[in-house]
């Protein structure tokens, strides 16, 4: 059970303000990364508080994903620490099944986030040696401002906190509907319409497939090179096969084998406008965090002409779009499958550990989970749910070791620092 002590409360106006000491870490974000960290801390008997700006856990999955979404990797690579998926779940769980799993996970480990609390700022107070995390919530016409004071801060807002909106000439004057992929639910309402899908990652491919399945006429913008791989090779998950080979073979050889096997299964995809990068798929993932597209049927629609592949966009003009090759298309709607970005720079007042792009400066690979002064990051290493789970376990172990040492040998440091912190603020 989280240990918190209310230190100040002003309730004589529509705006209330209070300061709360957290006897453990504050975790910002109640997505899979935040839940995994909280569960691992629970196992270490370390109290914590989870702050979430939305009104539910895993808001990205619950509110900003399309209906047909399934996990792209087998469930054993997507389960969180201490709790596998139910045995009766399919190998690739649906969106609803994954949400049910996360809700069961939060219940099992007694993770009860503070919902509707949007973090405005977080900074380390050098004088007290503590983090000061300010939040705002608006519930029933009352604005509540809370400052949480803690020794450890875990940033779990992840790679996909905010939609990434591209700047394209004329897009703001486009006469049709423009939505981001996070607002796309189903292709049903687009039946018979000409839809331009901007982006060719996993989301762009799957949105295009869904549109084609609902008898829309999608054109998918492929501006740069992309690795498209079959979801399964030789009866096994492509990802699982790659991970197995990497235990015994060098990265460059694994990439060669994957590309040969993909060519056998998919054929030459470049003739459809899908040019492969010079760097191999696993090397690209390791070096730049760029995930290969796992094909679940879009390529067949491209071959049959039900999905058109077009080059980059030059400009929009009314309800028409001009491409970089001079071709012009009539378009009814636009879906921007242009990805997401971190929102950390907007609220975290720190520049040593996190870079300006909102990622830890050593985010790709096995590092990037621990900074200085009690600052941690989970879900930023571009290794998916399995990477976030590993980071969560490391963070909990790191904090837990200090917690156990200090609770068996209590000192006056924390409360003394707290008193200095409070006296300066109030």
78 neighbors 386 (Cβ within 8 angstroms)? yes
Q: Strand 4-10 vs strand 15-22: parallel, antiparallel, or unpaired?
A: antiparallel
Spatial separation of the C-alpha atoms in residues 385 and 397, rounded to whole Å:
18
| pLDDT one-digit tens code per residue, 131-168 | 999 999 877 778 899 999 999 999 999 888 899 999 99
Give the pLDDT band of residue 332 (cuts 50, 70, 90): very high
77 neighbors 240 (Cβ within 8 angstroms)? yes
How confident is the model over 101-112, as a mean pLDDT?
Answer: 98
Q: Does domain 164-340 have CATH number 1.10.1270.20?
A: no
Select the CATH number that applies to the domain covering 17-161+342-403 from these four: 3.30.1180.20, 3.50.50.60, 1.10.600.10, 3.20.20.100: 3.50.50.60
Spatial separation of the C-alpha atoms in residues 222 and 275, rounded to whole Å:
9
| pLDDT one-digit tens code per residue, 44-91 | 999 999 999 999 999 999 999 999 999 999 999 999 999 999 999 999
> Three-state DSSP class for 349?
coil
| pLDDT one-digit tens code per residue, 182-226 | 999 999 999 999 999 999 999 999 999 999 999 999 999 999 899
Residue 107's φ and ψ, nearest 5 degrees, are -70, -45
Spatial separation of the C-alpha atoms in residues 382 and 115, rounded to whole Å:
26
* Domain ranges (residues) in the chain: 17-161+342-403, 164-340
| pTM beyond 0.85, yes or no | yes
Spatial separation of the C-alpha atoms in residues 155 and 369, rounded to whole Å:
9
CB atoms within 10 A of CB 273: 15
Give the pLDDT band of residue 426 (cuts 50, 70, 90): very low
Counting residues of the chain whose pLDDT is more than 70, the rounded percentage is: 92
> Which two tokens mark 391?
């980071």
> Three-state DSSP class for 343?
coil
Give the pLDDT band of residue 368 (cuts 50, 70, 90): confident
The reply to whether 164-340 shares the fold of 17-161+342-403 is: yes
């Amino acid at each position: 059970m989280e240990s918190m002590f209310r230190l100040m409360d002003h309730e004589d106006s529509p705006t209330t303000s209070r300061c709360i000491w957290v006897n453990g870490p504050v975790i910002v974000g109640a997505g899979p990364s935040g839940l995994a960290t909280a569960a691992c801390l629970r196992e270490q008997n370390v109290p914590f508080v989870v702050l979430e700006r939305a009104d539910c856990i895993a808001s990205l999955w619950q509110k900003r994903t399309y209906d047909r979404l399934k996990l792209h990797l087998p469930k054993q690579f997507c389960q969180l620490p201490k709790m596998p998926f139910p045995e009766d779940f399919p190998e690739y769980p649906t969106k609803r099944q994954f949400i049910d799993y996360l809700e069961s996970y939060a219940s099992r480990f007694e993770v009860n986030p503070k919902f509707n609390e949007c973090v405005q700022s977080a900074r380390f107070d050098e004088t007290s040696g503590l983090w000061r995390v300010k939040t705002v919530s608006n519930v029933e016409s009352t604005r509540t401002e809370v400052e949480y004071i803690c020794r450890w801060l875990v940033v779990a807002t992840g790679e996909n906190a905010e939609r990434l909106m591209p700047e394209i000439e004329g897009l703001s004057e486009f006469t049709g509907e423009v939505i981001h992929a996070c607002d796309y639910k189903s292709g049903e309402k687009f039946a018979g319409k000409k839809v331009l899908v901007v982006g060719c990652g996993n989301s762009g491919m799957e949105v295009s497939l869904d549109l084609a399945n609902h008898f829309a006429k999608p054109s998918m913008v492929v501006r740069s090179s992309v690795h498209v791989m079959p979801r399964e090779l030789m009866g096994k998950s492509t990802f699982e096969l790659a991970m197995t080979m990497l235990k015994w073979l060098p990265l460059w050889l694994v990439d060669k084998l994957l590309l040969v096997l993909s060519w056998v299964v998919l054929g030459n995809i470049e003739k459809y406008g899908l040019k492969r990068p010079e760097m191999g798929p696993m090397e690209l993932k390791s070096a730049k965090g760029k995930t290969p597209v796992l094909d679940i049927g879009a390529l067949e629609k491209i071959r049959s002409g039900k999905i058109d592949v077009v080059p980059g966009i030059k400009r929009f003009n009314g309800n028409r779009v001009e491409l970089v090759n001079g071709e012009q298309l009539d378009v009814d709607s636009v879906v921007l499958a242009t990805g997401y970005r971190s929102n950390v720079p907007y609220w975290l007042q720190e520049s040593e550990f996190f870079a300006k792009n909102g990622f830890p400066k050593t985010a790709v690979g096995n590092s990037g989970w621990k900074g200085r002064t009690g600052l941690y990051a989970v879900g930023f290493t571009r290794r998916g749910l399995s990477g976030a789970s590993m980071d969560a376990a490391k963070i909990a172990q790191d904090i837990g070791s200090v917690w156990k040492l200090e609770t068996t040998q209590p000192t006056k440091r924390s409360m003394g620092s707290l008193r200095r912190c409070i006296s300066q603020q109030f």
